[in-house]
Amino acid sequence: MMRAVVKPILIRQHVDSAPAGLLADWLDARGLAYEIDRTWLGASVPDPERFAFVASLGHDKMAGDVDDPAVAAERELLRLAVARDVPVLGLCYGGQVLAAVLGAEVGPAPVAELGWREIETDVPELVPVGPWLEWHFERFCTPPGATELARTADAPQAFRVGPHLGVQFHPEATVEIVAGWARADAAQLAARGIDDGEALLVASAERRAAAQAAAFRLFDGFLAITDHFHQRVAV
């Protein structure tokens, strides 16, 4: 069957240290066209209707920093995407911005989630248990009207509203990417009694492969949601 989605996918990359990683690998493996918008270079906010969906990646800013122009611009883009029925995939910071746009509280996490985690999920066919890499000091609450899909004991981990999906973990991240964040956050980690953040990321080849498989499963599931959504609105 021919896929309904023919527009490219927009990836919003917010800092050089947080690239698309496994998301780009998945897009390449599936033969999907995409554009990476490196937001820190100062380009204007694109029209979300040009794209099949918008994926918003991680950031060293906080979704609640509304006085920051970059955060304000991301909020505006995701607000427009939601208003114009362009599906959004929000990953960690991107998930927090999506949650905020949908009316949820975002703010400091009671417990920072760092390193490898498995999650409790209601929909393992879309949001697998993991293993997932987490690296966040903030968190989102589940937006009003959204369905919470997954959680840990410390925070919600995934929610869905229509074609929009926000997750708190980093399906796109590799150990090497998160190791860079651990080095950059050394002072913040030390204040929390963590001397070696990279030690939280140690993983066997089998765990790395399982994380990639879980990420591809999540991305495939989200693509199926967007395809179904585009087919329905086209009728």
Active site residue 170: yes
Instruction: Name every residue whose Cβ is closer than 8 Å to that of residue 218 and which is 6 or more positions away in sequence.
Output: 126, 127, 128, 167, 171
Contact between residue 152 and residue 119 where contact means Cβ atoms under 8 Å apart? yes
Active site residue 172: yes
Residue of 92, 113, 134, 230 marked catalytic? 92
Contact between residue 56 and residue 46 where contact means Cβ atoms under 8 Å apart? no
Residue of 59, 136, 172, 230 marked catalytic? 172
Residue of 14, 59, 164, 170 marked catalytic? 170
Burial 1-22 (b: 16+ CB within 10 A, else e): eeebbeeebbbbbbbeebbbbb
- Compute the C-alpha angle 38/39/40, nearest 5°: 95
Active site residue 141: no
Q: Hey, which residues are catalytic here?
A: 92, 170, 172
